[in-house]
Amino acid sequence: MSDTLSQLAQVLEARKGASPDSSYVASLYHKGLDAILKKIGEEATETVMAAKDGDKDKIIYETADLWFHSMVLLAQQGLGPDDVLKELERRFGLSGLEEKASRKVD
């Protein structure tokens, strides 16, 4: 995992116990799952709009926001970027069609 992702995961974990007045992330944790999910939805929409506009700098900026808020969600759920990277590694070398067909139906 990149050092940046690892370092960010550590900071996000440390913010779990912080006062909501002390940081943006601590305030998101304090507000709960719905607030985190709302931010992910907003950032996903902003990423899509940046892509539609073809603005590469804005695509990068908005994707960074989306990844950041997704990592907040992972940490809130007791997960980390390593969990996602392991899943991507599992899928590597499979066609998308094979991978989708191998999923368990809930």
Give me the domains of the chain, ranges plus CATH numbers.
3-102 (1.10.287.1080)
Count other Cβ atoms within 10 Å, centred on residue 60.
Answer: 12
Cβ(35)–Cβ(47) under 8 Å?
no
pLDDT, one tens digit for every residue, the chain (106 residues): 568 999 999 999 999 999 999 999 999 999 999 999 999 999 999 999 999 999 999 999 999 999 999 999 999 999 999 999 999 998 888 777 776 777 776 5
Q: What is the pLDDT at residue 102?
A: 77
Q: Judge whether 62 and 46 are in contact, CB under 8 Å.
A: yes
d(CA 25, CA 72): 7
Half-sphere exposure in the Cβ direction for 90 (13 Å, CA): 10
Q: With beta carbons less than 8 A apart as the criterion, state whether 7 and 43 touch.
A: no
